[in-house]
A and B are shown apart, each in its own frame.
Chain A
């Protein structure tokens, strides 16, 4: 009996590894090995055409002393700090509105979500046209409103970043909204009924019941939004090509530029490691914080 059982267990084990084989091969080839490889490349000088040579920490030292990289980090910080709260607040407001007893809920939800499924390249093209400083609809509207000193938008180092942030928020707020909506619908109605008995209405209901019960979802949306905003690339590529004079150069664009425009694979990989580290640290910090301020309902 015992041998028969272990025979069965062994068959099951062998079957399991056969089921896992395709995913293991693809995972090793295109994810696990490349992560290690990228780490190793970051310690070399390599232009792809000649053999790489080992460079100790040169790339990391160079990054630390590169004024453009410092600017890129600053730009990315500004981008994340502006885009994430805007996306989350607008997404939450829309979700709260859609969670009420109103007409056309499904249609409205779909409309707010459309930009999420839209190709970022195509969306960035139409927004570049809207923000065109000479013939764009936005400056047309501003001048009809009597604004004399029209912003140069994508051609201005002051206004290019706000323009890119606007488009990012427009494209992603529907994503936050859908998640918040799912979180809201997960709150049981009897919690509200009990609160109503205690006299909680309006704002106090929102602050003391909805928001705390929504916090696991808020936490999830926060992580996802921060990570995705750190990875902004398509928008920058199409709208500004990181210009004017690096005013919208962000981390992933910098990685792309050094790797595939300047062919400095080592330098680019070092910057990619910085991105990796940032994403990793953020995720870990937020996992720690989760216990402190997330209330599970």
Chain B
């Protein structure tokens, strides 16, 4: 299938060199983060700067776990991002199935209402949601961090677009075989929609892991903080202890790099699907 690639021209090599230089610039902050995180305290404020220490201090990475409950924060991030992802997959795929495969009165108008929620900046609902969660007694709770994100217009839209491409004949055939709607959804549609579900899963997980403002205002106890909030709090307490702050940053970033390395195709297809969907 793959044609033999033509030899790159001189212009292609020049572009390659420029892109490589740009890539180094893009990586710079990551490299400096890692470099600072393993530095001995004495080298941090030296001039000219020490780019790579001769005496790396890997034990810096233990200090953050003893200074604040950072292990718990990372665990909280995992729990919240994992649960939100799971709930969104279920809730959005159920709704998407109804929109894509079932006929009912008010289908188009309800879909439009769901879509219009994409135009509402999340900061608009911040205060009412905070008051709601507070009145429910959900401050410092997992349900308070998770449930407001259980539904996503974007996710429903993405899955519905994908499910619409599944041939109707498959569904009709299953129905003639006596399958109910739930069975068709579970045994036919969900397996066929796996690429779209994968894209949504990875997209949601990354977004939730990096989420900041909502957990910032709905958690007060250190043991309920997620990693991003714990990092920001740490900055307030140890604002010149750069190796400590950089170890925390590295730990907050690495899981997303792993997720992205595993699923970068799915992730990018999720992003681009949103753009072609509107056409």
A72 to chain B, nearest CB (A): 13
Extra pairs beyond A100-B12, A118-B253, A123-B253 (8, CB < 8 Å): A23-B114, A23-B156, A100-B8, A129-B246, A183-B275, A220-B275, A260-B130, A268-B127
Report the number of A-B residue pairs with Cβ-Cβ less than 8 Å. 279
Please determine whether A19 and B272 come into contact, CB atoms closer than 8 angstroms. Answer: no
Please determine whether B275 and A275 come into contact, CB atoms closer than 8 angstroms. Answer: no
Please determine whether B23 and A108 come into contact, CB atoms closer than 8 angstroms. Answer: yes
Closest to A13 in B: B104
Q: A26-B151, A140-B48 are in contact. Are A127 and B9 (CB under 8 A)?
A: no
A7 within 8 A of B: no
Please determine whether A276 and B124 come into contact, CB atoms closer than 8 angstroms. Answer: yes
Choose among A19, A22, A94, A125 the residue that contacts B249 (Cβ–Cβ < 8 A): A125
- Encoded as 1 (CB less than 8 Å from any A CB) or 0, chain B from 241 to 270 comes to 010011011101100110111001001100
Closest to A186 in B: B276
A64 within 8 A of B: no
Please determine whether B268 and A178 come into contact, CB atoms closer than 8 angstroms. Answer: yes
Choose among B32, B33, B209, B212 the residue that contacts A234 (Cβ–Cβ < 8 A): B212
In A128-156, the 8 Å CB interface with B consists of 128-130, 134-135, 137, 140, 143-144
Residues of B within 8 A of A260 (CB): 130, 217
Choose among A26, A135, A269, A273 the residue that contacts B45 (Cβ–Cβ < 8 A): A135
Residues of B within 8 A of A217 (CB): 275
A2 within 8 A of B: no
Please determine whether A103 and B16 come into contact, CB atoms closer than 8 angstroms. Answer: yes
B147 within 8 A of A: yes
Residues of B within 8 A of A231 (CB): 121-123
Please determine whether A119 and B256 come into contact, CB atoms closer than 8 angstroms. Answer: yes
Residues of A within 8 A of B259 (CB): 117
B76 within 8 A of A: no
A153 to chain B, nearest CB (A): 15
B162 within 8 A of A: no
- Encoded as 1 (CB less than 8 Å from any A CB) or 0, chain B from 12 to 39 comes to 1101101110110011011011001000
Please determine whether B94 and A119 come into contact, CB atoms closer than 8 angstroms. Answer: no
B125 within 8 A of A: yes
> Can you show 5 pairs from A to B with CB atoms below 8 A apart?
A23-B92, A30-B129, A111-B26, A121-B212, A129-B242
Residues of A within 8 A of B192 (CB): none
Please determine whether B5 and A101 come into contact, CB atoms closer than 8 angstroms. Answer: yes
Closest to B30 in A: A114
Closest to B239 in A: A128
B102 within 8 A of A: yes
CB within 8 Å of A: which residues of B?
5-6, 8-9, 11-13, 15-16, 18-20, 22-23, 26-27, 29-30, 32-33, 36, 44-45, 47-49, 90-92, 94-95, 97-98, 102-105, 107, 110, 113-114, 117, 119-132, 147-148, 150-151, 153, 156, 180-182, 185, 206, 209-210, 212-213, 216-217, 227-228, 231-232, 235, 242, 245-246, 248-250, 252-253, 256-257, 259-261, 264, 267-268, 271-272, 275-276, 278-279
- Encoded as 1 (CB less than 8 Å from any B CB) or 0, chain A from 8 to 23 comes to 0100110111011011
Please determine whether A102 and B19 come into contact, CB atoms closer than 8 angstroms. Answer: yes
Q: How far, in angstroms, from A227 to B119 measured CA to CA in the complex? A: 9
Closest to A90 in B: B22
Q: How far, in angstroms, from A218 to B217 measured CA to CA in the complex? A: 35
In A147-176, the 8 Å CB interface with B consists of 170, 174-175
Please determine whether B260 and A97 come into contact, CB atoms closer than 8 angstroms. Answer: no
A116 to chain B, nearest CB (A): 9
Please determine whether B271 and A175 come into contact, CB atoms closer than 8 angstroms. Answer: yes
Residues of A within 8 A of B132 (CB): 29-30, 34
A43 within 8 A of B: no
Please determine whether A16 and B123 come into contact, CB atoms closer than 8 angstroms. Answer: no
A9 to chain B, nearest CB (A): 7
Q: A117-B256, A129-B32, A233-B213 are in contact. Are A122 and B117 (CB under 8 A)?
A: no
Q: How far, in angstroms, from A233 to B110 measured CA to CA in the complex? A: 31
Choose among B16, B151, B228, B261 the residue that contacts A121 (Cβ–Cβ < 8 A): B228
In A212-235, the 8 Å CB interface with B consists of 216-217, 220-221, 227, 230-231, 233-234
Q: A101-B8, A256-B213 are in contact. Are A19 and B253 (CB under 8 A)?
A: no
Please determine whether B245 and A125 come into contact, CB atoms closer than 8 angstroms. Answer: yes
Please determine whether B126 and A237 come into contact, CB atoms closer than 8 angstroms. Answer: no
Please determine whether A130 and B94 come into contact, CB atoms closer than 8 angstroms. Answer: no
Q: A9-B103, A112-B23, A227-B121 are in contact. Are A20 and B29 (CB under 8 A)?
A: no
In A261-278, the 8 Å CB interface with B consists of 265, 268-269, 272-273, 275-276
Please determine whether A126 and B33 come into contact, CB atoms closer than 8 angstroms. Answer: yes
Q: A13-B104, A23-B95, A101-B8 are in contact. Are A114 and B117 (CB under 8 A)?
A: no
Choose among A48, A94, A237 the residue that contacts B212 (Cβ–Cβ < 8 A): A237
Closest to B37 in A: A126
Q: How far, in angstroms, from A13 to B101 measured CA to CA in the complex? A: 11
Q: How far, in angstroms, from A257 to B181 measured CA to CA in the complex? A: 48
Q: How far, in angstroms, from A137 to B185 measured CA to CA in the complex? A: 55
Closest to A112 in B: B26
Q: How far, in angstroms, from A98 to B16 measured CA to CA in the complex? A: 8
Please determine whether B47 and A238 come into contact, CB atoms closer than 8 angstroms. Answer: no
